[in-house]
C-alpha cells in the first residue's frame, strides 16, 4: 500500500502495470472525491467511497475501457448509492454536520447548473429531503454532467425515470431556505480573485476558494482548491481583459477579445469563498447568456 492508501493490486498484474494503473487513478482522485463528498456530505465517507473505487478498479480488467474517468465516476456513484441506502435503513445521520448554506441563485432555466453546484457544496441543507436515488441523479447529472442514460444504469431506472428523479430533487433544492446574497461582498471576492490571477499568486487564490470548489468548463470539471488555483493562475492573460459582470444574474466576469465576448465566468459562494466557477467558452452558449457589465 502506498502513501495514498493504494494497495499493490492482485497478483495478476505486474509491478509496472500496477504503477501505471495507480497513476491513472490518482489523476481522477480529486474529481471522484468531489462526487462522493457531494453525494454523502462527509469527507470521511467520501474517502471510503473513493478507496472502494480503487479496490474495484484493481480487481477489474479495464483494458477495453475507453473513458476511465467515466467508468470510475459510475463506480463511485454506485458505492455512494449503497452507502446512502444503508444509512437510510439505519436511520443514521452523516458522519459530519455543517450549517453551511449556499447563496441563492436567480430563478430561471439558465441558472439551473449554478443552482445545482452552489447547493452541492452545502448539500446537507436538504439531505434528509432527498431519497438516495434522487440525490444521486441530482448530483451526478446537475453537478457533474453525467448523462441520464448512465445515471439510470446506476440506479436501475430508465433514462426518463432518472430525469424525473433529478427534476424532483432539483425542485426540493430550489425550495430550500438560503440566505440573501451579498452582491457587494461577492464582488470584492471576485476582484481579489482577479487580482491574484493577474499576479499568479497561488496562495492568495487558494485562500479565496472553498476547499471543495468546483470549476466547470465546456470540456470538463476541476475539483478542489489546489487544482482550481493552478488553473486560475494560468488564466492571467485573460484576467487582464476580464470585466466585472452579472452573468445570468450571478456575480461574474466577462472576457472580451477584440471587442467580442469570448467567455464568461459565473461564481457562487459559500461563506465568502468561491465554491463554484462556471466557465462558458462555447460561442453558442456564450451568445445565449444574459451578460450585464457592472
Predicted confidence at residue 87, as pLDDT, reads 66
Give per-10-residue mean pLDDT for the chain (294 aa): 51 69 88 84 83 90 82 90 73 37 34 44 51 85 84 90 86 57 87 91 92 76 83 81 88 91 88 84 88 90
Predicted confidence at residue 89, as pLDDT, reads 55
Q: Tally Cβ neighbours within 10 Å of residue 15.
A: 9
State how far the alpha carbon of 131 is from the alpha carbons of 81, 86, 87, 152, in Å: 10, 12, 11, 15
Q: Which residues are within 8 A (CB) of 275 and not within 5 positions of it... i.e. 6 or more apart?
A: 102, 117, 118, 121, 210, 212, 213, 214, 268, 269
255, containing H or E segment? strand 250-257
Predicted confidence at residue 132, as pLDDT, reads 84
Predicted confidence at residue 271, as pLDDT, reads 75
* Residue 224 CB burial class (10 angstroms; 0-12, 13-18, ≥19): buried
Cβ–Cβ under 8 Å, residues 148 and 162: yes
Predicted confidence at residue 53, as pLDDT, reads 92
Q: Tally Cβ neighbours within 10 Å of residue 21.
A: 19
Give the Cα separation of 37 and 53 in Å (integer).
14
Give the Cα separation of 38 and 40 in Å (integer).
6
Of 183, 190, 199, residue with least CA distance to 236: 199
Amino acid at each position: 500500500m502506498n502513501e495514498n492508501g493504494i494497495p499493490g493490486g492482485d497478483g495478476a498484474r505486474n509491478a509496472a502495470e500496477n504503477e501505471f494503473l495507480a497513476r491513472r487513478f490518482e489523476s481522477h482522485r480529486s474529481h471522484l472525491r468531489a462526487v462522493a463528498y457531494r453525494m454523502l456530505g462527509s469527507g470521511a465517507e467520501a474517502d471510503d467511497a473513493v478507496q472502494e473505487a480503487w479496490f474495484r478498479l484493481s480487481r477489474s480488467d479495464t483494458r477495453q475501457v475507453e473513458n476511465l474517468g467515466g467508468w470510475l465516476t459510475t463506480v463511485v456513484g454506485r458505492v455512494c448509492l449503497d452507502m446512502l441506502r444503508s444509512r437510510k435503513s439505519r436511520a443514521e445521520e452523516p458522519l459530519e454536520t455543517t450549517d453551511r448554506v449556499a447563496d441563492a441563485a436567480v430563478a430561471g432555466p439558465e441558472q439551473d447548473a449554478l443552482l445545482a453546484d452552489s447547493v452541492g457544496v452545502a448539500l446537507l441543507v436538504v439531505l434528509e429531503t432527498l431519497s438516495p436515488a434522487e440525490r444521486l441523479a441530482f448530483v451526478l447529472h446537475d453537478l457533474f454532467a453525467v448523462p441520464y442514460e448512465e445515471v439510470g444504469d446506476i440506479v436501475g431506472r430508465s433514462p426518463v425515470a432518472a430525469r424525473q428523479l433529478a427534476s424532483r430533487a432539483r425542485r426540493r433544492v430550489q425550495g430550500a431556505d438560503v440566505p440573501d446574497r451579498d452582491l457587494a461582498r461577492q464582488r470584492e471576492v471576485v476582484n481579489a480573485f482577479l487580482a491574484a490571477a493577474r499576479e499568479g499568486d497561488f496562495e492568495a487564490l487558494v485562500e479565496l476558494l472553498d476547499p471543495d470548489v468546483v470549476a466547470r468548463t465546456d470540456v470538463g470539471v476541476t475539483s478542489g482548491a489546489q487544482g482550481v488555483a493552478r488553473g486560475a493562475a494560468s488564466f492571467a492573460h485573460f484576467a487582464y481583459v476580464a470585466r466585472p459582470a452579472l452573468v445570468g444574474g450571478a456575480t461574474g466576469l466577462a472576457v472580451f477579445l477584440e471587442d467580442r465576448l469570448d467567455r464568461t465566468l459565473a461564481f457562487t459562494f459559500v461563506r465568502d469563498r468561491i465554491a463554484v466557477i462556471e466557465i462558458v467558452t462555447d460561442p453558442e452558449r456564450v451568445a445565449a447568456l444574459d451578460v450585464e457589465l457592472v
